[in-house]
Structure 1
Amino acid sequence: MLADIKKTEDGYIARFERHFRHSVEEVWAFLTENEKLAKWFSELQVEDLREGGLIKFDMQNGTFIDMKILELSMHSVLEYTWGDDIVRFELYPEADGCLLVLIEKLKVMTDHTPKDLAGWHVCLEVISALLDGRTIESRKAEWEKWYEKYVRATAQVAKKD
């Protein structure tokens, strides 16, 4: 399911929702435990899991970008800076698992935005596969499929400006 992308007063919001047949605790572990985080987003590493703490992004060239944790509520909310933007994960228990909501708050829409959104989309698919004990054959092929859809989706939202 494609992210819902909307214009806001101070930029844009992309909202992804995924239902998992796994507990909040199991999904939370994939967001916050480095061993599990590395399986779906190898460039990220949690350095200090607390409000005001730090997540590092490995640029794969010997440099790292520090991303500050803005809000943390264990097993419920993880929000951190993402360049000029903000990424927020919310988890809600459900009878048969949990709902994960990923919100990216974007200051501006750029040519790179569809790439990032397709990337988040595939990341959520990979988390789902890992939790279910499945593998995704080609993350690149998945990304390419979703990228085209996000190019169209972001163009439609930008057209409304």
Structure 2
Amino acid sequence: MLATLEKADKGYIATFERRFKNSVEEVWSALTENDKLQQWMPNLEVVDLHINGIMKFNMNDGTGHSFNISILDCKENAYWQFEWGDGSVRFELEPKEDESVLLLKEYIPILDDHVPKDLAGWQVCLEMLYEVLNGRKMAFPKQSWEALYEEYKKQVRPLLDEA
């Protein structure tokens, strides 16, 4: 299921909603503990998980280069928001019956040609997160990403024309 993309006061918000048959604590662990996090988002590394804490984005290109990302908001087992380019990404968790509901929101100040790449990437990462939560490891599915990228280009293009 593709993210919804809506106009907001300051740009746009892309929202992904996923339901997991795991507890909020299990999903939080997969989101924030490096040994699990790096199975579905290998570039991210949590250094200091709290408001104004630090994460690293590792280039993973053999150069050893990385850069710091600031954690903007965080409450254990509830939400986690960090810088993402000129915007930010926020994960919100909520228990619902025997499931956990995860909202991933990307706050996008300006739409550009890179947005469809990010959205396709987040969608694939969520698929990989699902596998991690079910005890399976999954290689990055490049063909799936490419197909999603094409779909997100179709979704973003009319909004770019309006801007």
How many residues align? The count is: 161
Cα pair distance change 1:138/1:57, threshold 3 Å: closer
Cα pair distance change 1:88/1:137, threshold 3 Å: closer
Taking the aligned partners of 1:23 and 1:144, their CA distance within structure 2 comes to 31
Q: Which of 74, 79, 85 does residue 87 from structure 2 map onto?
A: 85
Matching residue of 1:74: 76
| 8 Å contact from structure 1 (residues 5, 157) kept in 2 | no
Q: List aligned pairs for 1:29-44, cutoff 5 A.
A: 29-44=29-44
Matching residue of 1:159: 161
Amino acid at match of 1:131: L
| 8 Å contact from structure 1 (residues 6, 157) kept in 2 | no
**Aligned-pair distance for 1:133?**
3.3
**Aligned-pair distance for 1:56?**
0.4
Matching residue of 1:119: 121
SS class of match (1:86): strand
**Aligned-pair distance for 1:151?**
0.6
SS class of match (1:79): strand
Most deviating of 51-60 and 116-125: 51-60
Unaligned runs of 5+ in 2: none
Taking the aligned partners of 1:124 and 1:83, their CA distance within structure 2 comes to 19
Taking the aligned partners of 1:78 and 1:10, their CA distance within structure 2 comes to 20
Q: Does 1:101 align with 2:85?
A: no
SS class of match (1:2): coil
Amino acid at match of 2:98: D
**Aligned-pair distance for 1:135?**
5.0
Taking the aligned partners of 1:27 and 1:94, their CA distance within structure 2 comes to 13
TM-score by structure 1 length? Answer: 0.94
Identity %: 44
Q: Does 1:148 align with 2:150?
A: yes
SS class of match (2:111): coil
Matching residue of 1:23: 23
Most deviating of 73-82 and 58-67: 58-67
* Superimposed CA distance per residue, residues 63-112 of structure 1 (whole angstroms, 9 cap, x where no aligned partner): 21211111111000100111211000000001121000000001111111
SS class of match (2:64): coil
The CA RMSD over aligned residues, in Å, is 1.4
Amino acid at match of 1:122: V
**Aligned-pair distance for 1:146?**
0.9
Q: Does 1:132 align with 2:134?
A: yes
Q: Does 1:7 align with 2:2?
A: no
Matching residue of 2:67: 65
**Aligned-pair distance for 1:16?**
0.4
Matching residue of 1:45: 45
Instruction: Show structure 1 runs of 4+ deviating over 6 A.
Output: none
